[in-house]
């Protein structure tokens, strides 16, 4: 579209310069400009016509549809550690603090700029698997699906803490109207942290749900459910919109649910999963009035769990995970920037360690990755500066 706009401006400039040279020339220039505007606006010149490319590993790319991200490691903003099984990240609403937690029962709050520890709190016996900040950034919440589903809370800068035992113990890190979309063994719920109290805003009985739900920008909840109860991997994508009184359930095939991730992308849901047969990551965009799969792209040579985050300012997703490797080789990771609407990989980067989680902050200009070797208990947090060409 940028190419067409430049061409239109060029044609209109010629038309103005030739105004005194006759109506015929003016008409031809005006006709050319209007034709390019019409066809460009209708999208008849699409990614299949120009801009297609491929990376060395066979990933289809398109650099003409979205700004190409440039990623640069920030100096002195990498922290390695061998303690605590850190598994997930969350960034405060103001982009100044980073929270990490994992099965080591510790919640750590760090300064985003320096990665120095601000606060470290124990959550004995919770075996944490999700973390999020409150809307005002004064509280951090962590969830657990241990024997009893629980949500623990800590007030930053103090020793105040508490536990909410309400049947849910895992949630997404994105806030919707100040609420978190939570998940438990028997239900999906919206919980709202208000000061030191966690309130249940909405609850739906779904014992077949198998992973944390996401909440779209219009309030609809999307979750993966297992057909036929708790056995088998015949999975379905369920969208529930209580405000409109509608729900959709779509088959997404059979795969290992522990390797997939749901990402909220505005009004769309993006399902990232691993295809064990082809050893590739599959990124699918689901949306529309009737909630259908609108695009799909494949990232080859991938294995293990896949993680991801939405970068609304750039209109793309960043997904990561572990690359396929030989048994005697040390595993490596990758980051891939995906235009989910059109189903194209814009850029893929190799990472020296498997990517365990990734978040974005500060208007899409900062990317934070959690990388590590689970078996060696060796982890690394890094911040990356993002710019766009």
What secondary structure does DSSP assign to 297-356, as a single string?
EEEESEEEEEEEEEETTTTEEEEEEEE---TTSPP-EEEEEEETTTTEEEEEEEESS-EE
Q: In what order do the strands lie in the sheet with 221-226?
A: 214-215, 221-226, 234-241, 246-254
Pull the structure tokens for residue 61.
């790319």
Residue 18 within any structural domain of the chain: yes
Range of the domain at 13: 2-42
**Sheet bearing 161-164, strands edge to edge:** 128-133, 139-144, 150-155, 161-164
Percent of the chain residues topping a pLDDT of 90: 23
pTM of the model: 0.77
Residue 291: which residues within 8 A CB-CB, separation 6 or more? 237, 239, 248, 250
**Average pLDDT score over residue span 176-193:** 79
pLDDT value at residue 248: 92
List CB contacts of 177: < 8 A, sequence separation 6 or more.
Answer: 219
Q: Please report whether residue 21 resides in a domain.
A: yes
> How many domains does the structure of the chain reveal?
1
Residue 96 makes CB contacts below 8 A (sequence gap 6+) with: 111, 112, 113, 137
Is 187 inside a domain boundary? no
Band (pLDDT 50/70/90 cuts) for residue 373 is confident
- The answer as to whether 300 is a domain residue is no
Residue 331 lies in a domain: no
pLDDT-based confidence at residue 182 (cuts at 50, 70, 90)? confident
| CB of 143 closer than 8 Å to CB of 150 | yes
Residue 64 lies in a domain: no
pLDDT per residue over 88-125, tens digit each? 899 999 999 999 887 767 888 999 988 889 998 877 66
**229, pLDDT greater than 60:** no
CA angle 65, 68, 71 (to 5 degrees): 160
Question: Region 271-293: what's the mean pLDDT?
Answer: 91
Q: Cβ contacts of residue 71 below 8 Å, gap of 6+?
A: 335, 347, 349, 367, 384, 385, 386
CB atoms within 10 A of CB 247: 14
Cα dihedral value 374, 378, 384, 388, nearest 10: -30
Q: What is the mean pLDDT of residues 276-284?
A: 89
pLDDT for res 376: 67
127: its two tokens = 């075996």
- What's the rounded Cα separation, in Å, for the pair 297 and 319? 12
Q: Answer yes or no: is 14 within a domain.
A: yes
CB neighbourhood size of 335 (10 A): 23
Asked if the model's pLDDT at residue 251 lies above 80, the reply is: yes
Cβ within 8 Å of residue 340, ≥6 positions away: 265, 268, 270, 283, 285, 295, 297, 316, 317
């Amino acid at each position: 579209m940028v190419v067409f706009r430049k061409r239109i401006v060029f044609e209109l400039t010629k038309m103005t310069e030739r105004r005194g040279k006759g109506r015929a020339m003016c008409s031809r220039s005006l006709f050319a400009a209007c034709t390019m505007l019409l066809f460009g606006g209708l999208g008849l010149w699409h990614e299949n016509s120009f801009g297609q490319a491929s990376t060395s590993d066979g990933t289809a790319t398109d650099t003409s549809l979205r700004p190409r991200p440039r990623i640069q490691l920030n100096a002195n903003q990498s922290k390695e550690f061998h303690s605590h099984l850190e598994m997930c990240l969350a960034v405060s609403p103001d982009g100044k603090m980073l929270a990490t937690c994992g099965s080591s029962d510790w919640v750590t709050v760090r300064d985003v700029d320096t990665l120095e520890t601000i606060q470290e709190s124990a959550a004995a016996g919770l075996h944490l698997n999700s973390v999020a900040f409150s809307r005002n950034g004064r509280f951090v919440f962590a969830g657990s699906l241990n024997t009893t589903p629980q949500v623990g809370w800590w007030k930053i800068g103090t020793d105040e803490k508490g536990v909410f035992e309400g049947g849910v113990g895992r949630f997404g890190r994105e806030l919707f109207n100040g609420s978190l979309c939570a998940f438990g063994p028997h239900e999906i719920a919206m919980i709202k942290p208000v000061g030191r109290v966690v309130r249940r805003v909405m609850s739906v009985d779904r014992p077949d749900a198998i992973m944390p739900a996401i909440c779209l920008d219009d309030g609809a909840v999307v979750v993966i459910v297992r057909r036929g109860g708790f056995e088998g991997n015949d999975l379905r994508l369920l969208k529930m919109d209580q405000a409109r009184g509608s729900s959709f359930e779509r088959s997404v095939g059979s795969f290992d649910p522990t390797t997939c991730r749901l990402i909220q992308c505005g009004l769309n849901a993006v399902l990232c999963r691993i295809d064990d047969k082809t050893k590739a990551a599959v990124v699918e965009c689901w949306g529309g009035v009737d909630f259908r799969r609108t695009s799909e792209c494949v990232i080859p040579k991938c294995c293990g769990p896949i993680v991801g985050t939405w970068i609304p300012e750039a209109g793309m997703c960043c997904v990561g995970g572990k690359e396929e490797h030989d048994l005697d080789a040390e595993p490596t990771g990758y980051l891939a920037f995906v235009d989910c609407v059109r189903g194209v990989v814009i850029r893929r980067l190799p990472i020296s360690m498997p990517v365990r989680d990734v978040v974005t902050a500060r208007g899409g200009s900062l990317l934070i990755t959690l990388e590590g070797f689970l078996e060696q208990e060796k982890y690394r947090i890094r911040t990356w500066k993002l710019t766009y060409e």
